[in-house]
């Protein structure tokens, strides 16, 4: 069994459903400390839902050389119905060249590869010029309030410099190495409450139907072109996720209607501009309304440079694949790290099964993934 696979099995056996860590960081810290990493727990959050955070760094011999941080999360999403899994989700199982378990792809395989790549790199280059660090949390799949964002704030307070970051999210699509995420769209959510007047459907003149009032502005919002995107991002999208109204009775005009919606927005738009345009439409239609906004994350982009070059070269050397740079998909903790670090990319295994029942990773990809990380360290830190 390869060192990466052995460590991955140990991590997968720990039921670290968010925000639980289930001892994953202790296992990783033990391996890193043996390499000379200074490991520090920066746990945060309320006691009843405490978040486990690890900051570990092995300084290079040259203080002016780059600092590369590896970022990721030990927490996994809930399993769903246990009887719908072919094998227990926290018992690593093998079928047809795949390893099945919750977290196999998202993202314990990357964590195991990070650690084993660090071990190989340090053994080969004990006096490496650049610094190597890890930032790991158990609060990525949850609210993400006390994990990476907390550690980044603490590092910023200390004046810790970060020059490049690899987030181990599963990014590959068809085969290992085909996709690197060099940015992500932002996420802006809104909850719109349109206020009407409840009444009997037979006496509409005595009521005001908020569903009817919402129909025209909603159609206008759905048809709007928010921006044209740019060379790195598709146009911003507006999507409705929920509409709630009514008392359950068929003869009552509701007193309010609630609409949940989300923008996935590019660097061509700002949260402030999107909010203003939505509110302008609502005002133009004369609605009585309340709107509550949640900014889940702002977009970030890493232009092609030293980090993307180092990683694409490593992928080509280990797999022969020409990696594509992409900004598709949802959000990740890269959005927090990008506020402190000028170059952030995401790279990991095939993402076809993430968050699904019977999540899997291809066993044959684990050692090449580890080698890609190690070679990227060499390209950046030597």
Task: Return the residue matching tokens 């095939």.
Answer: 350
Domains of the chain (ranges; CATH) run 3-184+299-381 (3.40.630.10), 186-297 (3.30.70.360)
Section 351-380 average pLDDT:
98
Section 107-135 average pLDDT:
98
Going 180 to 126 to 113 to 138, the CA torsion angle's sign is negative
Question: Is 146 annotated to bind ligand?
Answer: no
Confidence of residue 48 (pLDDT cuts 50, 70, 90): confident
Count CB-CB contacts under 10 A for residue 148: 25
Percent of the chain at pLDDT above 70? Answer: 100
Question: Is 359 annotated to bind ligand?
Answer: no
Question: Is 367 annotated to bind ligand?
Answer: no
State pTM to two decimals. Answer: 0.89
What is the model's pLDDT at position 331? 83
Question: Is 333 annotated to bind ligand?
Answer: no
Contact partners, residue 30, CB within 8 Å, separation at least 6: none
Tell me which residue of 357, 359, 341 sits closest to 349, measured CA to CA. Answer: 359
Beta bridge partners of 55: 40, 135
SS3 state of residue 78: coil
SS3 state of residue 2: coil
Question: Is 30 annotated to bind ligand?
Answer: no
Give the catalytic positions in this structure. Answer: 75, 140
pLDDT single digits (tens) 257-305: 999 999 999 989 999 999 999 999 999 999 999 999 999 888 999 999 9
Q: 48, 143 in Cβ contact below 8 A?
A: no
pLDDT single digits (tens) 58-102: 999 999 999 999 999 999 999 999 999 999 999 999 999 999 999
Round to whole Å and give the CA distance between 200 and 109.
59
Q: 77, 18 in Cβ contact below 8 A?
A: yes
For Cα atoms 256, 259, 265, give the angle at the middle one, nearest 5 degrees: 155
Q: 372, 10 in Cβ contact below 8 A?
A: no
47 has a pLDDT exceeding 90: no
Mean pLDDT of the chain: 97
Q: 235, 229 in Cβ contact below 8 A?
A: yes
Section 165-173 average pLDDT:
98
Round to whole Å and give the CA distance between 274 and 272.
6
Task: Return the residue matching tokens 């941080």.
Answer: 69
Percent of the chain at pLDDT above 90? Answer: 95
Section 24-45 average pLDDT:
98
Tell me which residue of 189, 217, 212, 196 sits closest to 281, measured CA to CA. Answer: 217
Round to whole Å and give the CA distance between 46 and 258.
30
């Amino acid at each position: 069994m390869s060192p990466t696979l052995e460590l991955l099995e140990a991590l997968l056996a720990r039921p670290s459903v968010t925000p639980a860590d289930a001892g994953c960081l202790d296992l990783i810290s033990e391996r890193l400390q043996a390499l000379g990493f200074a490991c520090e727990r920066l746990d945060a959050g309320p006691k009843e839902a405490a978040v486990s955070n690890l900051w570990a760094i092995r300084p290079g011999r040259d203080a002016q050389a780059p600092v590369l941080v590896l970022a990721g999360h030990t927490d996994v999403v809930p399993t769903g119905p246990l009887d719908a899994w072919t094998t227990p989700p926290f018992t690593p199982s093998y079928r047809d060249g795949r390893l099945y378990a919750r977290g196999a792809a998202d993202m314990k395989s990357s964590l195991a590869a990070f650690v084993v790549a660090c071990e190989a790199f340090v053994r080969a280059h004990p006096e490496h010029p650049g610094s190597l660090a890890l930032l790991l949390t158990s609060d990525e799949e949850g609210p993400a309030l006390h994990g990476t964002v907390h550690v980044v704030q603490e590092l910023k307070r200390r004046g810790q410099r970060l020059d490049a970051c690899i987030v181990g999210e599963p990014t590959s699509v068809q085969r290992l190495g085909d996709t690197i995420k060099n940015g992500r769209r932002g996420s802006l959510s809104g909850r719109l409450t349109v206020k009407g007047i409840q009444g009997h459907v037979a006496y509409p003149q005595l009521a005001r139907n908020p569903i009817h009032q919402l129909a025209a502005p909603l159609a206008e919002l759905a048809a709007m072109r928010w921006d044209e995107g740019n060379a790195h991002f598709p146009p911003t999208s507006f999507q409705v996720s929920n509409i709630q109204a009514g008392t359950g009775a068929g003869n009552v005009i509701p007193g309010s209607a609630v609409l949940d919606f989300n923008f996935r927005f590019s660097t061509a738009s700002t949260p402030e501009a999107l909010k203003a345009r939505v509110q302008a439409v609502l005002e133009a239609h004369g609605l009585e309304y309340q709107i509550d906004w949640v900014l889940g994350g702002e977009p970030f982009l890493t232009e092609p440079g030293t980090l993307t070059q180092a990683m694409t070269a490593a992928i080509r050397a280990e797999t022969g694949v020409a990696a594509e740079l992409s900004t598709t998909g949802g959000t990740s903790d890269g959005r927090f790290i990008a506020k402190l670090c000028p170059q952030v990319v995401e790279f990991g295994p095939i993402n076809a099964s993430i968050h699904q029942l019977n999540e899997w990773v291809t066993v044959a990809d684990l050692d090449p993934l580890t080698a890609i990380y190690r070679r990227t360290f060499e390209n950046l830190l030597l």
